[in-house]
Structure 1
Amino acid sequence: MKRLSVLFITLLAAAGAHAGEVQVAVAANFTAPAQQIAAEFARKTGHKAVLSFGATGKFYAQISNGAPFEVFLAADDTTPARLDKEGGTVAGSRFTYAVGTLVLWSAKADFVDGKGEVLKSGKFNKLSVANPKTAPYGAAAIETLTRLKLLDAVQPKLVQGENIAQTFQFASTGNADLAFVALSQVFKDGKLSSGSAWIVPGAMHEPIHQDAVILTKGKDNPAAAAFLEFLKSPYAHAVIQSYGYALR
């Protein structure tokens, strides 16, 4: 028994010696699934993923200015591709980890109809959207309003969030009746978690392909490569889909 205890402690020590840490920049829309995936990643591998959440465009600026991120989970595919071209990534590491869905959401039950007609009615106080210059979901929202020929009409009621998390907060606290947010923020295990929503048809905006990539600072970090591999695992795929994302 004593020899077994010593062996167990030795194995734990060996595992701990090989455990690492990876700094991950995560698009705000992917907050909940990323937290769930990171927890299981730590349990399965011993590695720790340190997550930071924010707008994709702001992360690009920070990464370009030397921020210590090693992995980037963006809310689009163009930003990681741009970093690829600029030599800021590990070649061949980029892939689409999720395909996002835009929704018009209200914290009020029955406020948003199934076709989004509430936008045309004008019977709402404020409409929250993420900054379209830095947040891909914000850009998709503006595309949708433009396609519906409603952008000029709703302009006086627009409230801009710094990222999709703040955009959701405006609506969840009642500071805005409506918000264009990511489906993942209001959807779990096949159902709407609260309020009312209209799922925006994909034809209304450019596809939201969300790409992951290992950044140059993570090229020699085994934990960075391990985290991206784990993101492709059946467990991670199940979590991603449970929040309403599609897989490419």
Structure 2
Amino acid sequence: MRFIALRLCCLFALVIAGAPIASAAEARVAVASNFTKAARVLAAAYEQSSGHTINLSFGSTGLLYAQISQGAPFDVFLAADQARPKRAVDDGLAVAGTTLTYAVGRLVLLSFDEDVPISASVLGDPRVSRLAIANPATAPYGAAAIEALAALDMQAAVAPKLVRGTNVAQAYQFVFSGSAEVGFVALSQVMDEADGNWWLVPQALHAPIAQDAVLLTRGADNIVAIGFLEFLKTDAAREIIAAHGYPADAPDAQP
């Protein structure tokens, strides 16, 4: 473990210093869809500082893991949970000792209908005929939504209303397009949204959405992949992550 940590730090230092250990190269990063906006900004910042290229692919955590397990050529995995990165290590698909929690997500209930007051009580409102969530079997934000509904004793009542997206990005699109009056999405998706109304779901209603990243076996010797993971630990990266809806401590109220 100490050897791996030392190796990562040394390689990252060489990248930042511009040492000629390799010409400009690239890494492929699989990213949970809820982290789309932040990942793009982080990738751009890392590319500017290193001269290398980060290629991003987005999808639900479960589907991305399935692709990785089937040999998809990714070097780094940014999941929306902790279970899949751990499983990747256990299954020999990722490098032990490289897992890190890069963000903690928050769940919100969103509506673009001005006539629908947004709070927990809206779940029982007769004007709400469709409630969008991400697929709880593959998307951690969908699983958190189901937990929150259970905690509110609303799971059975809203079951006929549920519209499942393949990931949290599609759940957002259902609400944005009007296909669903309300939906459970990620705080990161509504940070810059001027028109929608949203309610920040109290953290006590579901398990923390801790999001882990891990270096995949394919990227074990990829200086770009290693450097990008180390970059996620820097203050500059943490500021970007917080600004995109992953604060270390978000209050349980709409700003």
Contact 1:109 1:194 in 2 (8 A): no
DSSP-derived class of the 1:88 partner? coil
- Partner deviation per Cα, 1:71-111 (whole Å, 9 max, x = no partner): 00000001101111112111111010000000000123463
1:17 to partner: Cα distance = 5.7
Helix, strand or coil for the counterpart of 2:120?
Answer: coil
Counterpart of 1:9 in structure 2 is: none
Alignment pair present for 1:237 and 2:238: yes
Cα distance in 2 for residues equivalent to 1:39 and 1:140: 30
**Structure 1 residue ranges, 4+ long, deviating more than 3 angstroms after superposition:** 14-17
Name the counterpart of 2:148. 144
Which residue identity does 1:99 align to in structure 2? V
* Identity rate, percent: 52
- Match in the other structure for 1:60: 65
Q: Is the 8 A contact 1:105 1:112 kept in 2?
A: no
Distance in 2, Cα, partners of 1:235 & 1:193: 26
Does residue 1:216 correspond to 2:188, yes or no? no
Q: Aligned Cα RMSD in Å?
A: 1.9
Structure 2 residue aligned with 1:43: 48
Q: What is the deviation of 1:159? A: 0.5
TM-score using structure 2 length:
0.86
Aligned residues: 232
Is 1:75 matched up with 2:80?
yes
Counterpart among 92, 95, 114 of residue 90 in structure 1 = 95
Deviations 1:19-75 (A, max 9, x none): 210000000000000001111111111111100000000111111111101100000
1:31 to 2:43 alignment: no
Cα-to-partner distance string for 1:99-148 (whole Å, 9 max, x where unaligned): 000000012346343x4211122321210000000000000001111111
Partners of 1:206 and 1:112 lie apart in 2 by 26
CA distance in structure 1 between the aligned counterparts of 2:41 and 2:241, rounded to whole angstroms: 10
Q: Could you state the TM-score of these two structures normalised by the residue count of structure 1?
A: 0.89
SS of aligned partner of 1:140: helix
Alignment of 1:94-105 (within 5 A): 94-105=99-110
Q: Is 2:126 the counterpart of 1:122? A: yes
Structure 1 counterpart of 2:201, one-letter code = V
Structure 1 contact 237–247 (Cα < 8 Å) conserved: no
Opposite residue 135 of structure 2, the aligned amino acid is: N
Q: How far, CA to CA, are the matches of 1:247 and 1:41 in structure 2?
A: 22
Q: Looking at CA atoms only, which structure, 1 or 2, has the larger radius of gyration?
A: 1
Structure 1: gaps spanning 5 or more residues: 1-13
The CA distance in 1 between the partners of 2:45 and 2:245, in whole Å, is: 19
Task: Supply the distance in 2 between the matched residues of 1:181 and 1:160 (Cα, whole angstroms).
Answer: 12
**Superposition deviation, residue 205 in structure 1:** 0.7
C-alpha spacing 1:221/1:196, structure 2 compared with 1 (3 Å):
same
Q: How does 1:5-20 map to 2 (within 5 A)?
A: 18-20=23-25
Q: CA deviation at 1:247?
A: 4.0
Alpha-carbon offset, residue 231 of structure 1: 1.2
